[in-house]
A = this chain, B = another copy of it.
């Protein structure tokens, strides 16, 4: 293969490091960049470094933010007594989109996964404990574990529920069941069993 340009090869390499971007897509994206006006490319380039310059972790909930304490943690309109524990910042966006949750969050930045060598100390569990242990006016009444219903998610839920038992906080987990718009017949048996188990009175 003839070498057209090292700069182009570098950019293709960088694009193909992104998740789910293969060499062919990376090449298409890089070619798209070559056709863009210089100022647009520079804006993209700046947006990348600014992420590193500006983003930090909220000192309360560990979500990403540009401030010492994030917007959600500072919002007086949100109930401080309910904390929803999620794996990643994306999950906060997903739950916010429902417009159904008015409490606060805690972002673990990972999930316990012994096979990947990720233990309880590798994720933000200590920060959660510190937060729950604080005896201020914002006593936590309920902890919603909104973790993915995977083996790792279950492990983390089990670990957290044992760990937090002495604190006597109500701990809940989000329902496992049939996705809305889906079909019973295509649900796997574990999901269907959990949907039955989690049935609610109408």
Does A180 lie at the interface of the complex (its beta carbon under 8 Å from any beta carbon of B)? no
Q: Could you mark each residue 18-54 of chain A with 1 if its beta carbon is under 8 Å from any beta carbon of chain B, else 0?
A: 1111000101111111100010111111111111111
27 of the cross-chain contacts (CB-CB < 8 Å) are A1-B96, A2-B71, A2-B75, A4-B65, A4-B70, A4-B71, A4-B89, A5-B54, A5-B55, A7-B47, A7-B50, A7-B53, A7-B54, A7-B55, A8-B64, A10-B50, A14-B43, A14-B48, A19-B29, A20-B25, A28-B90, A30-B51, A34-B89, A42-B48, A45-B45, A45-B46, A48-B48
Query: Smallest Cβ distance from A44 to chain B, in angstroms?
Result: 4
| Contact, CB under 8 Å: B41 / A96 | no
Does A97 lie at the interface of the complex (its beta carbon under 8 Å from any beta carbon of B)? yes
Report chain B residues within 8 Å CB of A31: 88-90
Q: Which of B14, B29, B71, B89 contacts A18 (CB 8 A)?
A: B29
Does A186 lie at the interface of the complex (its beta carbon under 8 Å from any beta carbon of B)? no
| Contact, CB under 8 Å: B48 / A44 | yes
Task: Give residues in A with beta carbon < 8 Å to B.
Answer: 1-8, 10-11, 13-14, 17-21, 25, 27-34, 38, 40-55, 63-66, 70-72, 75, 88-90, 92-93, 96-97
Interface of A is mostly: helix
CA distance A19 to B24 in the complex (A): 13
